Amino acid sequence: MTWLYKNLYSPEESAESGQLGESARRDVRGFAKDARGRAGYELHRVQQGLDPTDWKPMPSVGPGVREIRIHTDGEHRVVYVARFDEAIYVLHAFEKK
C-alpha cells in the first residue's frame, strides 16, 4: 500500500505528488518531532522542484535516487526518487546510529 507523505502532517489533506511506502511512513513517524518536521520540509522543497538543502545522489541504488540528510539531535536520512512526473517516491527512511 502507498501512502501520501502529507498524511504524516495533515491527514485531512491529500497530495498527488509525494508518496511513502508503508515501512517508510512508519519509519518517518518514528523520527523525533524536529527531524520529522524537517523531513516534511525537505520533501516539500522537492515537490516544488527545488533540491533539498542537504542531499547526495545514490546512483548505486538506482538512477535519480537521492538521499536527504537531516541533521538534528541525531542524524536521519530519507531516500527518494523524483524522476517521475506524477510523484516523489520515498523508498526508505532511517535514523543513523
**Global confidence as pTM:** 0.76
Pick the CATH number of 2-96 from 3.40.630.10, 3.40.50.11540, 3.40.440.10, 3.30.2310.20: 3.30.2310.20
Round the average pLDDT of the chain to a whole number and report it.
81
The whole-number pLDDT of residue 97 equals: 81
| 3-class SS letters over 7-55 | HHCCCCCCCCCEEEEHHHHHHHHCCCHHHHHHHHHHHHHHHCCCCCCCE
User: Greater confidence, 14 or 46?
Assistant: 46
